[in-house]
Structure 1
């Protein structure tokens, strides 16, 4: 019994300390500034600290070090974003998407589950591909993915990522930019899908989730201009026309 009492006290202390580190949004301008300040913003809309999921949200928020997280109980802000009841909302710039988790409708609410919810929906201008991020990527309404397939251990990887990241905001709402680490064994199937081996990297590819088709940019130096031309050619329908015109013998690239 004494152990349970001590554990309960410690839990309350940790929660109180965590709460101090979570931003409180007091009005609409503050909420707008917060959302505009980051690629992915998470807001916990709770009426009171006694609301279902409140403590679990604070606990999950402290574990998500790379995410910008805030709390809001102001109904004026709720109205601005169409919130009617206690809800956890994620605002993303890359695909102009808002994901809402209505806590009154959730069968189970725990910190681990909320961490998974935030992790899966952490879709950025450049999202590193893994099992968790794949869920958010494929659930997005933006179905076209531009992939940088690169071995992150190679010396030329970082500059490539910088050029890739600089280009991504230009295609907001049209294409999602994805980094695939070719040195990860779990990504072997992605390389295989594009007909690549690790020694072929780095390469740039496009995947159309609606058509379930892929394109590889011809192997050569990866420059901002070449990647932009590749993306623009896809959006203009030129790559699709080229694929339709190919004979089976022409498809050695894929």
Structure 2
């Protein structure tokens, strides 16, 4: 059997976690949720566009040379579905040139890893609500991204190869404060480490927890993983603190390991469960 490239092994493992009806319903409910109607911000001038992107963890901008094309009403239509995403629209030639836009394009900007992801021109011509929503759902990475079978695609499309996972029950009394500190720590490693939240209260996430040789009784815990060579480490935490997360990440970046080594054969067996 031909060996699978190391970067793909963990991804293949993650895709064995099927999207349950409950999780699917939760994602759909999140997408459909809307409060006050919002409209994309009109961006005129490069400084305004730069400020808009810098102020949002995830920004989606429609760069249109022609506002009469079918993609424009589709773009306006999805704005209500994503309350945690900032939407802008621009027809300014200088703005388009600044972001290397030469034709009608919809771009997603991620502050967490400074990525600009563009929908190709052929996709724009055939875009509909479902396709555009899917593009945004998959690629919307925040400073802390909650793991589910949709967001995992975007996580592994990122050029950032080190992922930190906080495994914790969202129903626990300490969750809100822990997430707040975890989010603050994430900003210290922007562009270096992707911070992920794994809700241990979700049954389907049990396989993710066991992958790192952890039990529910050992949670909350941190697990850090490098996709390039599959090196990983774990740390049980009684309290999530900014300093504790920072020290754990710094140690891994410097090559320090807290847990035992895991050889490639063992990791391959786990992936092929």
Q: Tell me the TM-score normalised to structure 2 length.
A: 0.78
Q: Kindly provide the CA deviation profile for residues 67-97 of structure 1, in whole angstroms up to 9, marking residues without a partner as x.
A: 1001111110001011111111111111111
Output the aligned Cα RMSD.
2.4
Partner of 1:207: helix, strand, or coil? strand
Pairing partner for 2:92 from 74, 99, 115: 74
- Are the aligned partners of 1:125 and 1:169 in contact in 2 as well (CA < 8 Å)? yes
Match of 1:200 in 2: 218
Q: Kindly provide the CA deviation profile for residues 44-70 of structure 1, in whole angstroms up to 9, marking residues without a partner as x.
A: 111122224222111112221221001
Query: How many angstroms does 1:213 deviate by?
Result: 2.9
- Are the aligned partners of 1:51 and 1:86 in contact in 2 as well (CA < 8 Å)? no
Match of 1:184 in 2: 202
Count how many residue pairs are aligned between Structure 1 and Structure 2. Answer: 229
Cα–Cα, structure 1 residues 153 and 20, in superposed 2: closer, same or farther, change >3 Å? closer
Match of 2:119 in 1: 101
Match of 1:90 in 2: 108
Query: How many angstroms does 1:109 deviate by?
Result: 1.2
User: Where do 5+ consecutive residues of structure 2 fail to align?
Assistant: 1-35, 267-273
- Are the aligned partners of 2:38 and 2:79 in contact in 1 as well (CA < 8 Å)? no
1:148-163, aligned counterparts within 5 Å?
148-163=166-181
Cα–Cα, structure 1 residues 242 and 193, in superposed 2: closer, same or farther, change >3 Å? closer
Pairing partner for 2:234 from 213, 216, 224: 216
Is it true that 1:28 corresponds to 2:83 in the alignment? no
- Are the aligned partners of 1:61 and 1:115 in contact in 2 as well (CA < 8 Å)? no
Match of 1:58 in 2: 76
Match of 1:118 in 2: 136
Match of 1:131 in 2: 149
Cα–Cα, structure 1 residues 242 and 20, in superposed 2: closer, same or farther, change >3 Å? closer
- Are the aligned partners of 1:94 and 1:172 in contact in 2 as well (CA < 8 Å)? yes
CA distance in 2, matches of 1:209, 1:241: 18
1:13-24, aligned counterparts within 5 Å?
21-24=39-42
Pairing partner for 1:147 from 165, 175, 181: 165
- Are the aligned partners of 2:44 and 2:90 in contact in 1 as well (CA < 8 Å)? yes
User: Where do 5+ consecutive residues of structure 1 fail to align?
Assistant: 1-17, 249-254
Query: How many angstroms does 1:222 deviate by?
Result: 3.3
The range that moved more, 64-73 or 236-245, is 236-245
Partner of 2:122: helix, strand, or coil? coil
Largest Rg, 1 or 2: 1
The range that moved more, 144-153 or 186-195, is 186-195
